Chains A and B, each alone.
Chain A
Amino acid sequence: MGLFDTVTSARALMGMSLAFHISFTAVGIGLPLMLFLAEGIALRTGNEMYREMAKRWTRVAAVLFAVGAVSGTILSFEFGLLWPTFMDFSGAIIGFPFALEGFAFFTEAIFLGIYIYGWERLSPRAHWLCTIPMMVSAAASALFVISANAWMNQPAGFKVVYGKAVNVDPIAAMFNRAMPYEVTHGTLAAYVATGFAVAGVYAVAMLRGHRSEYNKRALVLALAVAAVFTPLQIASGDLSARFLAHRQPEKFAAMEGQFRTERGAPLRIGGFPDPDARETKYAIEIPRLTSILAFENADATVRGLDSFPQDAIPDVRLVHYPFQVMVASGFFMLFVVTWFFGVAWWRKRIDPGRWLLRALVAAAPLGFVAIEAGWFVTEFGRQPWIIWHLMRTDQAATPRAGVAFLLLTFFLVYVALASGLVLLLLRPPGRAARPPEEAADGP
Chain B
Amino acid sequence: MGLDVIAAGVVLIGLIAYAMFAGADFGGGVWTALAWGPRARAQREAIFRAMGPVWETNHVWLILIVVTLFTAFPRAFGDLFTALFIPLSIALIGIVFRGAAFAFRHYGSEGGARLPATGLVFSAASILTPLTMGMALGAIAGGHIAIRGGQVVTELYEPWLRPFSIVCGLIAVSICGFLTASYMTTRTTGALREDFRNRGLAASLVLGGLTTVAIPVAYADARPFFDRLASPAPIAVMAAAAAMGVASLVVLWRRWFALAPPVAAGTVALVIAAWGAVQYPYFILPDERIDSVAAEHATLVAFLVSLPIGALILIPSLVLLYYTFSEKTDRPAQGSPPP
Chain A residues proximal to chain B, CB less than 8 Å: 59, 62-63, 65-67, 69-74, 76-77, 79-81, 84-85, 87-93, 95-96, 98-103, 105-107, 109-114, 116-118, 120-122, 133, 165-171, 398-400, 402, 406, 409-410, 413, 416-417, 420-421, 423-424, 427, 429-437, 439-443
Residues of chain B contacted by A406 (CB below 8 angstroms): 89
Query: Contact at B44–A77, with CB atoms within 8 Å?
Result: no
Contacts of B321 in A (CB 8 A): 110, 113-114
- Chain B residue nearest to A423 in the complex (CB): B115
**Interface membership of B253, Cβ < 8 A:** no
B interface, over-half SS: helix
Residues of B within 8 A of A69 (CB): 56, 59, 99
* Beta-carbon contact of A169 and B70 below 8 Å: no
The answer on a CB contact under 8 Å between A442 and B104 is no
Q: What distance in Å separates the Cβ of A386 from its nearest Cβ neighbour in chain B?
A: 14
Give residues of chain B (283-339) contacting chain A, Cβ–Cβ below 8 Å: 295-296, 298-299, 302-303, 306-307, 310, 313-314, 317-318, 320-321, 324-325, 332, 334-335
Write the B108-148 contact mask toward A (1 if CB under 8 angstroms, else 0): 11111111001110110000000000000000000000000
A110 touches B314 (CB 8 A): yes
Q: Which of B47-55, B174-182, B206-214, B225-233 contacts A (4 or more CB under 8 A)?
A: B47-55
A443:B44 contact, CB within 8 angstroms: yes
A413 CA to B94 CA, complexed, in Å: 10
Q: Could you list 9 examples of A-B contacts with CB < 8 Å?
A: A67-B100, A71-B96, A80-B66, A84-B82, A95-B67, A109-B57, A399-B152, A443-B48, A443-B105
Number of A-B contacts (CB under 8 A): 277
Interface of A is mostly: helix
A118 (CB) vs chain B CBs: closest residue? B324
Q: Does B113 contact A431, Cβ atoms closer than 8 Å?
A: yes
Expressed in whole angstroms, the minimum distance between the Cβ of B23 and any Cβ of chain A is: 16
The answer to whether A417 and B96 touch (CB under 8 A), given A95-B67, A102-B63, A170-B298, is: yes
The contact of A70 among B57, B82, B103, B324, by CB within 8 Å, is B103
> How far in angstroms is the closest Cβ of chain A from B13?
14
| Residues of A contacting B45 in the complex (Cβ-Cβ under 8 angstroms) | 436, 439
Q: Compute how far the CA of A113 lies from the CA of B95 in the bound complex, rounded to whole angstroms.
A: 19
A102–B103 CB distance below 8 A: no
List of 3 A-B pairs having minimum Cβ-Cβ separation, nearest first: A442-B119, A95-B71, A91-B74
New A-B pairs, 11, CB < 8 Å, besides A66-B99, A92-B296, A443-B32: A69-B59, A73-B63, A76-B63, A81-B88, A91-B78, A91-B295, A92-B295, A107-B313, A424-B111, A436-B42, A443-B51
> A89 contacts B95, CB within 8 Å?
no
Asked if B103 contacts A63 (CB within 8 A), the reply is: yes
Measured CB to CB, the nearest residue on chain A to B56 is A109
Kindly state the interface size class of chain B when it binds its partner: 35 or more
Q: Which B residues touch A72, using CB under 8 A? A: 63
Q: If A67-B100, A84-B79, A420-B100 touch, does A90 touch B74 (CB 8 Å cutoff)?
A: yes
Query: Does A95 contact B314, Cβ atoms closer than 8 Å?
Result: no
Q: Across the interface, do B95 and A70 meet the contact criterion of CB distance under 8 Å? A: yes
> Chain A: which residue is nearest B46 at the CB level?
A436
B320 near A114: Cβ-Cβ < 8 Å: yes
Shortest A140–chain B CB gap in Å is 10
Q: Roughly how many angstroms separate A410 CA and B96 CA in the complex, as a whole number?
A: 10
A117-B53 in contact (CB<8A): yes
B92 at the binding interface (Cβ < 8 Å): yes
- Among residues of A, the one whose C-beta sits closest to the C-beta of B81 is A80
Contact A84 B77 (CB under 8 A): yes
Q: Tell me whether B24 is interfacial, beta carbon within 8 Å.
A: no
A107-B314, A442-B120 as given contacts; A102 in contact with B296, CB under 8 Å: no
Residue of A62, A88, A171 most packed against chain B (CB within 10 A): A88
Do residues B113 and A424 form an inter-chain contact, with CB atoms below 8 A? yes
**From A406, which residue of chain B is reached at the shortest CB distance?**
B89
